[in-house]
Amino acid sequence: MKKIALALCLILSSSAFAAEDSLQYWLTQAGMKMSMNEYAEAKIRYVAALRFDSLNVEAIRNLGVISSALGDQAQALVYLQKAYKLRPTDAQLSNNIGAIYSEQKKSAEAIQYFEAAIRLDSTNALFFTNLGIEYLRAGRPQQALGVLKRGLALDTANAVISFNIGNAFAAQQMFDSAEANYERSKAHGGEAADLFYYMGVVKRNKGDMAGAEEAFKGAIGRNAQYKEAFQALGLMYAQQGKFDQAAAQFERVVAIDTTFMPGMISLGASYALCDRKKEADGILKRLFAVDSSMGYQMLKLIQLEASKQPKAK
């Protein structure tokens, strides 16, 4: 589940009679184009508006939002920082700047601006959500839990917040509480593949293998390219001695990402353990050619799994 997108700030004229080639005219035209997601056209019109008022905060802010939507995060940050200097008490601007830093994986800066947004407006659940997610990303699950609970108090049916509260509990190995919040997220409409994947991880850690299998399959049903879910399912089957089923999952992993070596190692070991020696040897040779340590990992995995199997009488 990805961070909620930047909010759009549209300025539409309250008057149908704005004079052509005026500040209000260009703000109105830009807002109309922005509302239709015609960002390139909106950008041209906001730039035109700045000819009449070079410090117009709404035009500068929306140029930042547009730049972000067009994938230019560096330019988006320039515009948003300029707007923020002009209006430092605007909580939405603080949140938007935090979102850009989050996209750039600069958690310290993102946290600074998300915290500022909450200081300016403690009634917006989105701000608490974004800060909580960033705390999780920074490895601060206890702080994440605190702010996410505050966000949930503002929006009790928010599936995204419940999901991230579950993640905060899971990061602290509080699996019962994590599972309860994942279930709450589902009850409020949570359908993202990540929700089902992490539900599977928690159920597996609790020893509920049937529930974990169902959850991992749920993740795959929602995202057929979810290699981590295929990998997790394959490892479960391998641990249960179901090496043919495990190999089928690892084949999907490798088909999705041929560079994912854990999947390749697991596939080779599963082939060996279900007597598909030729395929196993082919993968082993490939692993040794890339990095001998990976070849030895495959051999150790085969030895470990073989030692778990009942001895023939």
Q: What is the pLDDT of residues 282-306, one digit of tens each?
A: 999 999 999 999 999 999 999 998 8
Summarised one tens digit per residue, pLDDT across range 237-271 is 999 999 999 999 999 999 999 999 999 999 999 99
pLDDT at 21: 76
Sequence-distant (≥ 6) Cβ neighbours of residue 225 within 8 angstroms = 256
pLDDT at 19: 63
Structure tokens at 75: 């330019």
Mean pLDDT, the chain, rounded, equals 92
What fold does the segment set 1-87 form as a domain?
1.25.40
- To the nearest 10°, report the CA torsion of 109, 110, 112, 113: 120
Summarised one tens digit per residue, pLDDT across range 103-132 is 999 999 999 999 999 999 999 999 999 999
**Tally of CB atoms within 10 A around 74:** 9
Summarised one tens digit per residue, pLDDT across range 71-103 is 999 999 999 999 999 999 999 999 999 999 999
Task: State the residue for tokens 């495959």.
Answer: 298
Task: State the residue for tokens 């082939």.
Answer: 271
Cβ contacts of 251-258, under 8 Å, gap ≥ 24: 252/227, 253/227, 256/225, 256/227, 256/230, 257/227
- How many angstroms separate the CA atoms of 23 and 49, rounded? 5
pLDDT at 305: 87
**Helix 209-222 and helix 193-205: axis angle, to 10°?**
170
Residue closest to 102 by CA, chosen among 70, 65, 133: 133
- Angle at 279 (CA atoms; ends 246, 218), nearest 5 degrees: 25
Q: What one-character-per-residue DSSP string does 271-295 give?
A: HHHTT-HHHHHHHHHHHHHH-HHHH
- How many angstroms separate the CA atoms of 143 and 146, rounded? 5
Residue closest to 175 by CA, chosen among 150, 207, 146, 197: 207
Q: Where are the domains of the chain?
A: 1-87
- How many angstroms separate the CA atoms of 213 and 236, rounded? 8
**pTM of this prediction?**
0.85
